[in-house]
């Protein structure tokens, strides 16, 4: 089994929830987080002062074929959005 973490600007949360549900993914986790970085990554004055942007991450546990399919669909449907995806192997205890 593998995991996929999908990091995104928090403004896309509802869009991604709707997308995941319409694609048949109905078992996933959400975590609120912040992206820290240099001013070039930060858009608003608030972000530039605090050096962070509000982000979220969805975590799904899927087989490798579903991860490839899901990541391709996200790239196709939501291109141009600030979305990063990472995958790695996991095992349930």
> Tell me: the pLDDT tens digits for 69-79?
999 999 999 88
Angle at Cα 83 formed by Cα 74 and Cα 90, nearest 5°?
75
Pair type for strands 29-36 and 52-62: antiparallel
CA distance 45 to 27: 36
Q: Which domain holds residue 37?
A: 2-89
Are 79 and 23 spatial neighbours (Cβ–Cβ below 8 Å)? Answer: no
Tell me the per-residue pLDDT of 20-54, one tens digit each, with 9 for 90 and over: 999 999 999 999 998 876 655 555 555 544 567 78
Query: Structurally, how many domains does the chain consist of?
Result: 1
Residue 47: left (phi > 0), alpha (psi -120 to 50), or beta?
Answer: alpha
Would you state the pLDDT for residue 80?
Answer: 80
Would you state the pLDDT for residue 24?
Answer: 96
Residue 11: both structure tokens together: 């403004």
What CATH number does residue 54 fall under? 3.30.70.120
């Amino acid at each position: 089994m593998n995991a996929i973490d999908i990091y995104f600007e928090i403004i896309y949360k509802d869009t991604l929830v709707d997308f995941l549900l319409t694609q048949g993914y109905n078992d996933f986790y959400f975590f609120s987080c912040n992206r820290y970085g240099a001013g070039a990554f930060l858009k608003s004055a608030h972000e530039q002062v605090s050096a962070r942007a509000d982000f979220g991450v969805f975590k799904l546990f899927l087989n490798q074929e579903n991860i490839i399919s899901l990541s391709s669909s996200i790239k196709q449907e939501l291109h141009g959005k600030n979305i990063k995806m990472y995958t790695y192997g996991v095992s349930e205890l």
